[in-house]
Amino acid sequence: MRRAASYEFVTDAAGLVLSGDGSRRVGDTRANVTSVLPPVADKPRFVAAMFGRIAPRYDLMNTLMTLGQDARWRRHVAEALPPPAQHARVLDVGTGTGRLGLAVRELDPAWRVVGVDFTIEMLRQAPGDLDVAAGDAERLPFADSQFDAVVSGFVVRNLADVERGLGEQVRVLRPGGALVVLETTPGPNGWLGPLYRLYFRRVVPVLGNVIAGDASAYTYLPESTLAFVQPARLASLLRRSGLRDVRSRYLMLGCVAITVGYKPHMLPHARRTL
């Protein structure tokens, strides 16, 4: 059994993980928390190695952990996209085994899907007829304004620099295009919150050990989820990245959220320089 290592990390007041080495400080609101989460500088290597290990069992684990609901959530992402024009292209960032890209294509085969991921073992599990590229979500290997839509599923909280990753998604999106983020939330308020944390912290690592032989990866999953921002904060990060009409929709009693925004035809900073 692979055991979880322990690290220190730093969050801002809203819980966004900023840094593992204190390099970015936000007033006096820092809180040190001992966790399995890696320092920011190590995060890309840590995340890629972890998904590399669990790739063959990733889809099965998702189905078991969510009782099959993950397929429904991905379909909601596809439904959130506007109808595609002819030859419309959608980028699935952190595509992994390609399930989100497939959900988009299944809903409307007019979408030409491109997936990008930095874990080759995950891409190897994707269907052969899906166009995929190896690449870093924080430095996307595409020119500006290439895609009519950009989607991601359970990826953003894995990024070392969330704002940079979102900025990259906005950069490759064409003006007028839609960006959709599917992500787990740190949990609902009220009675369900403690149950959600109990399930995530006690049940998921055991399931991960039995099914994927990797309790460590399935300890990282709940910890990275519980340390991530609420959808309202994610929505404000998307607005800060230049998107407009940003809205979040909660699924599964608030355990999962879909956040949608649109790239304006002229970004505010571009307007100022005219």
Ligand X SMILES: C[S@@+](CC[C@H](N)C(=O)[O-])C[C@H]1O[C@@H](n2cnc3c(N)ncnc32)[C@H](O)[C@@H]1O
Which residues of the chain form contacts with ligand X (CB under 6 A)? 44, 47-48, 51, 94-96, 99-100, 117-119, 122, 136-138, 153-155, 158-159
Find out whether 267 and 173 touch, Cβ atoms under 8 Å. Answer: no
Residue with Cβ nearer ligand X (88 or 217): 217
Smallest distance from ligand X to CB 118, Å: 4
Smallest distance from ligand X to CB 263, Å: 20
Smallest distance from ligand X to CB 137, Å: 3
Smallest distance from ligand X to CB 156, Å: 9
Find out whether 255 and 185 touch, Cβ atoms under 8 Å. Answer: yes
Residue with Cβ nearer ligand X (211 or 267): 211
Tokens of 145: 């304004």
Q: 3-class DSSP state for residue 119?
A: coil
Looking at residue 92, its amino acid is D
Q: How would you classify the pairing of strands 147-153 and 173-184?
A: parallel
Residue with Cβ nearer ligand X (137 or 252): 137
Query: What stretch of H or E contains 237?
Result: helix 231-240
Q: Which residue in this structure is represented by tokens 């320089």?
A: 273
Residue with Cβ nearer ligand X (158 or 169): 158
Closest CA to 92 of 63, 115, 61: 115
Residue with Cβ nearer ligand X (151 or 243): 151
Smallest distance from ligand X to CB 120, Å: 9
Closest CA to 73 of 58, 83, 63, 86: 63
Residue with Cβ nearer ligand X (88 or 91): 91
Closest CA to 227 of 41, 72, 14, 75: 14
Find out whether 113 and 46 touch, Cβ atoms under 8 Å. Answer: no
Smallest distance from ligand X to CB 102, Å: 10
Smallest distance from ligand X to CB 239, Å: 22
List, in order, residues 6 or more apart from 35 with CB less than 8 Å away.
Answer: 6, 7, 8, 9, 223, 227
Tokens of 63: 């189905």
Residue with Cβ nearer ligand X (66 or 145): 66
